[in-house]
Amino acid sequence: MSDLELRGVRKQYDGVARMVIPDLDLDIASGQMAVLVGPSGCGKSTTLRMVAGLEEPTAGVITIDGRDVTHMAPADRDIAMVFQSYALYPHMTVFENMAFGLRIKKLADAEIKARVNAAAASLGLTPYLERQPKALSGGQRQRVAIGRAVVRKPKLFLFDEPLSNLDAKLRSDMRREIARIHQESKTTSMYVTHDQIEAMTLADMIVVLKEGVVQQIGSPVDIYEQPANKFVAGFFGTPTMNFLGATLGDRVITGEGFSLPFPRAAPTLRPAAADAKNQVVIGIRPERLSLSDASDAIGGKVVMREVLGAEVVLYVESAAGPLTVRADASAAPRPGDQVKVALDPTAVHVFDGTSELRL
């Protein structure tokens, strides 16, 4: 197993003023699955491609297992990469595709056969070893691509949005497959995705990027329950977190139609303007809101509902702002109904109204 380190890594393309990666420091410990996540254009795939050697950093150092690989050819880095597009050789059989990298390394035929057969059995590909990719489904092709990486026993696995071409059922199946393979091999891995579910279910460590800048690094639980800023809070969770404008006083937060305790003395905020002093944004997830008859609940009207089986998602217009609420399907109101929504004060996240950092 090997660790991966990026120090002061930058990337700027010729003729483009903005740096894609302004300045990135990142440590992935040996055996960890680190998932880089963020919106399109945030620099996650560029980072992975620099680690793979497919992109040259503008500045900085990349090391794998303590060895500087910054300017090393991809073939010399001892990595295996799984692409979004499978990247299988169409004229080769499944066996030949999986064996190709081992033949390049000039391994003995007996070892190649043993490795390929073992990986094929693990991935349920044994019946398809003599087929060509055109005779396989999308999920089977992706398993071949993963198997081709697994048989090489590399120091580092790189996954570039490998499940984005699959339907929802296959994505779920392949997530479990990748998680199982990682658990068994304990190979250090970097996984790139824009899908928050993949990030939460696969990662030992999540790296959240926005415009090439790390917003937060942490475990899935940390990222979800203790988001560093409003961007991270809004990126994770389905439906997304509710955000409401409010004013922070001494141990109290007040907004239109609600008042909540703040558990400590009010910090000093940096206002954007004189009239913005002590302005904050509170965030609360839909599952931490509830329909209530309490006198201090926020009144509003249901404008839409989405049925999700045993529960529904209600979209409520209120004086405090739009609210999204998860509710039991059997008792949920209909569009046009008046409701009252209670906020759980223990589940509220508070962000500076200007910097958007967590308070």
Residue with tokens 């894609």: 20
Co-location of 303 and 204 in the same domain: no
Co-location of 264 and 304 in the same domain: yes
Stretch 302-321: mean pLDDT: 93
pLDDT classification of 267: cutoffs 50, 70, 90: low
Retrieve residue 87's tokens: 């990247």
pLDDT > 50? residue 69: yes
Which of 193, 215, 231 terminates a domain? The answer is: 231
Co-location of 261 and 339 in the same domain: yes
Stretch 122-133: mean pLDDT: 94
Query: Could you tell me what percent of the chain has a pLDDT over 70?
Result: 96
Which CATH number fits the domain that encloses residue 308? 2.40.50.140
Whether residue 359 lies inside any domain: the answer is no
Co-location of 134 and 205 in the same domain: yes
| 83-92, 219-228, 239-248, 270-279: the lowest-pLDDT one | 270-279
Stretch 60-68: mean pLDDT: 96
Stretch 144-155: mean pLDDT: 93
Retrieve residue 15's tokens: 């003729």
Whether residue 87 lies inside any domain: the answer is yes
Cα dihedral 169→173→175→178 (10° resolution): -150
Summarised one tens digit per residue, pLDDT across range 106-127 is 999 999 999 999 999 989 999 9
CB of 212 closer than 8 Å to CB of 20: yes
CB of 196 closer than 8 Å to CB of 213: no
Co-location of 249 and 215 in the same domain: no
| Bridging pattern class, strands 59-64 and 298-307 | unpaired
Q: What is the pLDDT of residue 265?
A: 62
Q: What is the pLDDT of residue 273?
A: 45
How far is residue 348's CA from residue 329's CA, in Å, rounded to a whole number? 24
Co-location of 172 and 223 in the same domain: yes
How many structural domains are present in the chain? 2
CB of 32 closer than 8 Å to CB of 203: no
Which CATH number fits the domain that encloses residue 66? 3.40.50.300
Co-location of 101 and 187 in the same domain: yes
Whether residue 342 lies inside any domain: the answer is yes
Which of 231, 252, 268 terminates a domain? The answer is: 231
Of 208, 264, 198, 261, residue with least CA distance to 233:
208
Asked whether the bond before 133 is cis by omega within 30 degrees of 0, the reply is no
How far is residue 291's CA from residue 286's CA, in Å, rounded to a whole number? 11
pLDDT classification of 247: cutoffs 50, 70, 90: very high
Whether residue 173 lies inside any domain: the answer is yes
Q: What is the pLDDT of residue 129?
A: 96
* Domain range for 98: 4-231
Q: What is the pTM of this model?
A: 0.90
Co-location of 51 and 157 in the same domain: yes
Stretch 196-213: mean pLDDT: 95
- Higher-confidence residue of 273 and 71: namely 71
SS (H, E, C) the chain: CCCEEEEEEEECCCCCCCCCEEEEEEEECCCCEEEEECCCCCCHHHHHHHHHCCCCCCEEEEEECCEECCCCCHHHCCEEEECCCCCCCCCCCHHHHHHHHHHHCCCCHHHHHHHHHHHHHHCCCHHHCCCCHHHCCHHHHHHHHHHHHHCCCCCEEEEECCCCCCCHHHHHHHHHHHHHHHHHHCCEEEEEECCHHHHHHHCCEEEEEECCEEEEEECHHHHHHCCCEHHHHHHCCCCCCEEEEEEECCCEEEECCEEEECCCCCCCCCCCCHHHCCEEEEEECHHHEEECCCCCCEEEEEEEEEECCCEEEEEEEECCEEEEEEEEHHHCCCCCCEEEEEECHHHCEEEECCCCEEC
pLDDT > 50? residue 331: yes
Question: How far, in whole angstroms, is CA 229 from its chain's centroid?
Answer: 16
Co-location of 61 and 86 in the same domain: yes
Q: What is the CA radius of gyration of the chain?
A: 25
Whether residue 13 lies inside any domain: the answer is yes
Of 256, 247, 237, residue with least CA distance to 317:
256
Query: Could you tell me what percent of the chain has a pLDDT over 90?
Result: 77
Question: How far, in whole angstroms, is CA 148 from its chain's centroid?
Answer: 24
Across the chain, mean pLDDT equals 92
How far is residue 69's CA from residue 109's CA, in Å, rounded to a whole number? 30
Summarised one tens digit per residue, pLDDT across range 214-223 is 999 999 999 9
